[in-house]
Amino acid sequence: MWKSIVVLSIGLVSGAAAHLGYFNAYAPACFSADAECEMEWLRAELDLSEEQYVSITRLHGNSAAQIRSLSRKVRDLELLLAELEAERVTEGYVDYLEIRNYMEVKRKLDEACMKSTSDLIASVGDVMNMDQRKRYFSIVQSRIN
């Protein structure tokens, strides 16, 4: 009886140890959504060479300030729209001139955002070979105009 219990225990402990060992060795290293993690993921996903990786990281770094600034403008515009809507609801007043200006600014901002994204995607794609580019475009497909 004891011999069977010992064999069962050894089996279960060995199985658990093998499971944890393998999982810890091969589980994805980073889950957080930070830039370094994303670049590492992109490198692995597209089989980028060291040279390509450096170029692509530099391209993202160069456009970071512009994208951040555009992103801030988009949020400001959303806040402006929320304020206009609050004014309409609480005071029953619609400032059509302000709305027209909002629409105009939003249209220009959307164009600038799309151009910025497309330019970045195109310049990153230029660093890649055909196969990598195809895979990269499939990842960012919804962002390509």
Partner 1 sequence: MDDNCKQLDEALELWKDVKVDHPRLNSRVWARVANEDKEPAALPNFLNLVQSILSRPMYASAFVVACILGGLLLAELRVAQQQVERGNQLAESYKQVIDPLIKDTYLYD
Residue 145 touching partner 1 (CB under 8 A) = no
Please state, in angstroms and rounded to a whole number, the distance separating the CA atoms of residues 144 and 25: 37
Diameter over CA atoms, the chain: 89
Site string for partner 1, 17-56 (x = CB under 8 A): xxxxxxx--xxx--x-x-x-xx--xx--x-----------
Residue 12 touching partner 1 (CB under 8 A) = yes
Residue 105 touching partner 1 (CB under 8 A) = no
Backbone angles phi, psi at 144, to 5 degrees: -90, 135
Residue 113 touching partner 1 (CB under 8 A) = yes
Nearest alpha-carbon partner for 41 in 22, 28, 26: 28
Please state, in angstroms and rounded to a whole number, the distance separating the CA atoms of residues 74 and 69: 9
Please state, in angstroms and rounded to a whole number, the distance separating the CA atoms of residues 72 and 77: 9
Residue 117 touching partner 1 (CB under 8 A) = yes
Of 94 and 139, nearer to partner 1 (C-beta) is 139
Whether residue 46 contacts residue 67, with contact meaning beta carbons closer than 8 Å, is answered with no
Q: Which residues here bind partner 1, judged by CB under 8 A?
A: 1, 3-4, 7-8, 10-12, 14-23, 26-28, 31, 33, 35, 37-38, 41-42, 45, 60-61, 63-64, 67-68, 70-71, 73-74, 110, 113-114, 116-117, 120-121, 139-140, 142-143
